[in-house]
């Protein structure tokens, strides 16, 4: 078949135009391509939906983890509170028992107090008489102590236990006097004249004095309830006894006038 020259040019022009860059391709009306495009579009949209769903799942998972952590923390707190409450119940029960015990003790103490108070009054009276009849050493100090006890017994602001403690303390002090030696300075009436003397006490068995110039000495006669002068032979012994009592000299044997021992029948 022969082509005329005029027929070839339009075909060549059409091909050239189609081959130009940017020239639109001829429309394709392929149904398969359209279906594939729809499938791809649907798949792309499904992927985007899946991504969004996964994001929501991740957020919900994080929130769930937080809630689980909070739940476990609350459970631990509940366990701690239950343990604390159990301990508090035990403590409360123990305190209730202690209060009941204290109330019982208080009722008994009040009963004892009613019986102890008359006893303490008798003890103070007995101590007062004892001091008055005893060897007259530190007489002012001991008398004031008894007077203080007497006043204390009449005070309402001093508890019964404290009163009893002070009465017993006074008795202990008097008891200690019988086991110690002591030197102190005081005034005595010697030969009708008030004289400053040094007194030396050996327990309750001997109480002697010596004037400051060592010219006068004497001893207390418990039977006669009076002072009895001593001769000068006791001067050095009394001086040494005073030094020992004041811890100015080491303990040593000294000679002092002592009352003669008596037997059970009162015979010397």
- 22: alpha, beta or left, given left = phi > 0 and alpha = psi -120 to 50? left
Residue 259 CB neighbours (<10 A)? 13
Q: Which residues pair with 182 in a beta bridge?
A: 201
- Give the pLDDT score at 54: 85
Q: How far is CA 84 from the centre of its chain?
A: 24
State residue 91's pLDDT score.
86
pLDDT confidence of residue 7: 44
Q: Is the entire prediction scored with pTM above 0.75?
A: no
At 49-61, the pLDDT tens digits run: 788 888 888 888 8
Largest CA distance in the chain: 189
Instruction: Give the H or E element holding residue 59.
Output: helix 31-133
Secondary structure E strands in the chain: 181-190, 193-202, 206-211, 217-221, 226-230
Which segments of the chain have a pLDDT < 70? 1-29, 109-113, 260-268
Say what the pLDDT of residue 244 is.
94
The predicted pLDDT at position 267 comes to 52
* Residue written as token pair 């008596």: 262
- Those residues with Cβ within 8 angstroms of residue 200's Cβ, 6 or more apart along the chain or in another chain: 181, 182, 183, 206, 207, 208, 209, 210, 238, 241, 242, 245
Query: What percentage of the chain exceeds 90 in pLDDT?
Result: 45
pLDDT at site 200: 96
Per-residue DSSP letters for 75-136?
Answer: HHHHHHHHHHHHHHHHHHHHHHHHHHHHHHHHHHHHHHHHHHHHHHHHHHHHHHHHHHHS--
């Amino acid at each position: 078949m022969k082509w005329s020259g005029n027929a070839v040019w339009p075909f060549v022009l059409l091909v050239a135009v189609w081959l130009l860059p940017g020239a639109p391709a001829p429309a394709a009306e392929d149904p398969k391509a359209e279906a594939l495009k729809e499938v791809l579009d649907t798949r792309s949209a499904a992927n985007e939906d899946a991504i969004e769903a996964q994001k929501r799942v991740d957020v919900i998972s994080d929130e769930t983890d937080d809630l689980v952590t909070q739940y476990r923390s609350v459970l631990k707190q509940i366990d701690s509170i239950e343990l604390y409450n159990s301990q508090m119940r035990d403590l409360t029960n123990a305190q209730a028992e202690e209060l009941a015990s204290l109330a019982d003790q208080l009722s008994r103490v009040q009963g004892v107090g009613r019986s102890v108070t008359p006893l303490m009054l008798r003890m103070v009276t007995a101590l007062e008489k004892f001091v008055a009849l005893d060897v007259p050493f530190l007489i002012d100090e001991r008398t004031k102590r008894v007077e203080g006890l007497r006043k204390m017994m009449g005070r309402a602001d001093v508890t019964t236990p404290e009163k009893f403690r002070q009465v017993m303390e006074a008795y202990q002090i008097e008891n200690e006097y019988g086991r110690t030696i002591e030197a102190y300075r005081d005034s005595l009436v010697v030969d009708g004249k008030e004289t400053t003397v040094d007194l030396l006490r050996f327990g309750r068995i001997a109480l002697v004095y010596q004037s400051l110039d060592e010219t006068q000495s004497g001893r207390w006669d418990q039977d006669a309830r009076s002072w009895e002068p001593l001769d000068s032979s006791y001067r050095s012994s009394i001086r040494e006894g005073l030094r020992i009592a004041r811890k100015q000299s080491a303990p040593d044997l000294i000679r002092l006038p002592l009352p003669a021992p008596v037997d059970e029948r009162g015979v010397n």
